[in-house]
Structure 1
Amino acid sequence: MPVPSERYGELFTDLTEQSTTRSNKRCLYIHVPFCRVRCTFCNFFQNASSRKLVDDYFDALMKEIEIKSQLEWTQSGLFHAVYIGGGTPTDLSPDQVERLGKAIHSSFPLATDCEITLEGRTNRFSDEMFDKALEGGFNRFSFGVQSFDTKSKTKCKTP
């Protein structure tokens, strides 16, 4: 059932004041809502990437991680999986990807075998991005199969 927007804050507080036990498996999702262009198959496109928009979003995201990681609920149990999705998180710079991974590791209680996934496109995933993601602690990468189609007219056209 949809939650009326005026109840978001109250509901968030109610949910995060509930305790959890360390034995409960939890997952963390972080959204990066940017794409270069709208792909023909996608109905979710909202924000065309620009360096300024991405940088501003990233700064706000880092503040949000700092704030939300301090909640008692956040610290009361382990996270067993972290997924960075979007849009396209690989529209972040390689340095931002590394900082994000390190912030996740230092801010949230993670299980020792926590799977930390970075979603992206192969055509924007350079060796530098891969190296910085590994340095940030990412241990799983998810690429949409449409990223492997280099000849189709209906593929996502990104520079």
Structure 2
Amino acid sequence: MGVQGRDHILQYAFADDRGNVVMSALTRSEAPAAIMFGASPDDLAASPLPAEAFEPMAQAVCHGATLVAFQRVLQGGLLPASGLAAAAGVECAWRRFARLARDKGLPAPSDGVLTLHDCLALANLPVPASEDAALRALAIRDLWLWMEAQG
């Protein structure tokens, strides 16, 4: 979302398989080089949580869950290590969609890079109205369920 001082401000959101947003939170993530990346997000509706406050929340919401993320190279993303360790597993919607699109002959963008919006459009699913993490989490859930229905 931006940079404040030497910290990145991140928004995390988790949706369950029933379509409930079970958590959405702003938090700080220490990044020594963050000062080079941009301006301060001065118009946040809530103050970001310190990393040490967010970490046990992430661990609790991830405990025993299979996480589904959308990113080209799945490395657990920016999730705190304790949240990642508490999860039962992590799946990558981007990788799964790329395989499914190839198998079904769905057209890919000319540059070959599939964004979440591309995948949703190819699946005839609505795209999120904004980059809000909660809306993206729900869109990833919808895409995953669509892929499940494809077999």
- Structure 2-normalised TM-score? 0.27
Name the structure where helix makes up a greater proportion of residues: 1
TM-score w.r.t. length of structure 1? 0.26
